[in-house]
Amino acid sequence: VVSIQRNFLWGGGPEAAKIAWVNWDTVCLSKNRGGLGIKDLSIFNEALLGKWGWELANNHNQLWARVLISKYGGWNALCYDRDSAHLSHWWKDLKAVFQQHHSNSIINNFTWKVGDGSKIKFWKDKWRDGGLSLQDKYPSLYQVSTQQKQSIKAMGLLVDDRWEWKFQWRRNLFDHEVDMAAAFLADIGEVQIQPSSRDLLLWGSNSDGSYSTKSAYNFLKNEDRQHIEDSVFKNIWNLKLPPRACAFSWRLFKNRIPTKVNLRRRHV
């Protein structure tokens, strides 16, 4: 599909491809950043699949979500289950999006709002302030915990309307771990478990926590975090000119037109 896009943009065809004057990564940048605003289909696909995952976590009572939870295991299987044998290609693709470990992966931009704690992994999910999971924030305590895969709900119980944590360790804590445990308890001490409320997955790029494909695409393209605008390119597309003239001006400012020098560089 990308090959078809490129050929269409530069005027080539199946028999004779023409010169791609600007690399495709640049073409896929927004117009304000010197690109043409063409969607990167691979990233756009990730953003769309991310929408499915977010809907699965937050709308588990819908029929389609109940089917997926019954067949595959739902949100936790999506993010943490490594076994992909005998799964549909669609579910494998969705898991691949959520289990990537690079800095821009979708899952790194999700946080949880605690309700009854049944869907949130106590150690692995991000549900405290600071943008880190407890596993990453307190790695020494995580290593000695026997409850590494438990949900928040399974880590304690309500006693006289107050939540009490019940931690289990593989051994007695060392002195430096005792000090860390004090900070750890202070960190989670203000959490209010609400048995009548459900956990909500929040998307960090929207103030109301809702997920949109557009914000996810910008997040993955790094457009939300790099507000780098080139006034020249921004002004080009605001000119009251035919689109073809704007496109030529864009190439001109990038020195990507077929001058003798540029053609010689490309051995033409």
pLDDT confidence of residue 228: 52
Interior angle at CA 45, CA 212 and CA 119, nearest 5: 55
Cβ atoms 27, 262 nearer than 8 A: no
The domains of the chain are located at 2-40+225-265, 115-198
- Walking along the chain (268 residues) 10 residues at a time, the average pLDDT comes out as 82 70 90 88 89 89 89 83 76 78 72 93 90 93 96 92 92 93 90 89 93 92 61 84 91 89 85
pLDDT confidence of residue 114: 94
| pTM attached to this predicted model | 0.80
Q: For 50-107, how does the pLDDT look when each residue is reduced to its tens digit (9 = 90+)?
A: 898 899 999 888 999 899 888 888 888 888 776 766 788 888 877 877 776 545 578 8
H helix runs in the chain, sequence order: 2-10, 24-27, 41-58, 63-72, 75-80, 89-98, 134-137, 139-144, 175-188, 213-220, 231-236, 243-253, 260-265
pLDDT confidence of residue 192: 83
- Residue 169 forms beta bridges with which residues? 145
CA atoms in the 13 A half-sphere facing the CB of 56: 23
Cβ atoms 25, 19 nearer than 8 A: no
pLDDT confidence of residue 129: 81
pLDDT confidence of residue 117: 94
Helix or strand holding residue 164 (H, E):
strand 162-165
